[in-house]
Amino acid sequence: MADKILKELKIKVWRQKNAKSKGKFETYVINDISTGSSFLEMMDILNNDLIEKGIDPIAFDHDCREGICGTCSLHINGRPHGPDTEVTTCQLHMRKFKDGETIIVEPWRARAFPVIKDLVVDRTALDKILQAGGFVSVNTGGVPDANAIPVARDDAEEAMDAAACIGCGACVAACKNSSAMLFVSAKVSHLAKLPQGQVEAAARAMNMVSKMDELGFGGCTNTGACEVECPKSISITNIARLNREYLKARISR
């Protein structure tokens, strides 16, 4: 199918000078955008137009633009990563929008993700949760042969599915309580299903959940919005596993 041209779009975007200033929406008009363009390419074109007019370009995060890093975190028309499924913002194409449409672009909205500028938020809270326990630190000796540590196929597949989480924060943005439970559960499940992760399992669950609460993330709402908006389709069954791991840790202590 040949790409079409969107003759006019209105981009209603959140503008905020810095973390301390009060932000507001500004509306810009952009013309002649190909439906084959990605959303970020459209933002690049818009920024070029703004620069030519002497207007400060819109700040937004991006890196790989291949759906791998999770950096391109935008809230588009009320949905994290926009009106598509199993994609990050950089994988969203303009064919998902109609000519003459008004597109509303916001940053992630969560107390734990303070706005730095415009659409850029500080997501180091997720890094701090990982630093609290999302790793294996025990001495496992030299590198073993490929099949030296047997892992059941189902366990290996569940671990790798959970490890697919890219830490973009869409689950937090989708949750009405700004919960990070899907993110934390993916990191805990990834290691809980592997023998290398068993030694520190109890401490990991306790430390990561405690850090999540400390950083101001809310509790799980059980609505499943996080799973729906996750670009990697991380399952909420991981949250049930996290709850079990945390309960076992509390009982053992």
Q: HSE on the CB side for 89, CA within 13 Å?
A: 29
Give residues with Cβ within 8 angstroms of 222, minimum separation 6.
Answer: none
Averaged over 165-178, what is the pLDDT? Answer: 97
Which helix (H) or strand (E) segment is 186 a member of? Answer: helix 181-192
Q: What are the residue ranges of CATH 3.10.20.30 in the chain?
A: 5-116
Q: Indicate whether 139 pLDDT > 80.
A: no
pLDDT score at 1: 61
Q: Give tens-digit pLDDT for 184-200.
A: 999 999 999 998 888 89
Cβ 116 vs Cβ 18: under 8 Å = yes
The domain covering 124-138+149-252 belongs, at the CATH homologous superfamily level, to Alpha-helical ferredoxin (1.10.1060.10)
Q: Which residues of 45-65 are buried (b: 16+ CB within 10 A; e: fewer)?
A: bbbeebeeeeeeebbbbbeeb
Architecture of domain 5-116: Roll (3.10)
What residues pair up with 28 in beta bridges, in sequence order?
11
Q: Give tens-digit pLDDT for 70-116.
A: 999 999 999 999 999 999 999 999 999 999 999 999 999 999 999 99
Give residues with Cβ within 8 angstroms of 21, minimum separation 6.
Answer: none
Q: What are the residue ranges of CATH 1.10.1060.10 in the chain?
A: 124-138+149-252
Q: Which residues of 84-97 are buried (b: 16+ CB within 10 A; e: fewer)?
A: beebbbbbbbbebb
Q: Is 91 helix (H, G, I), strand (E, B) or coil?
A: helix
Q: Give tens-digit pLDDT for 9-18.
A: 999 999 999 9
145: confidence class by pLDDT, cuts 50, 70, 90: low
Q: What is the pTM of this model?
A: 0.92
Looking at the chain, the whole-number percentage of residues with pLDDT higher than 70 is 96
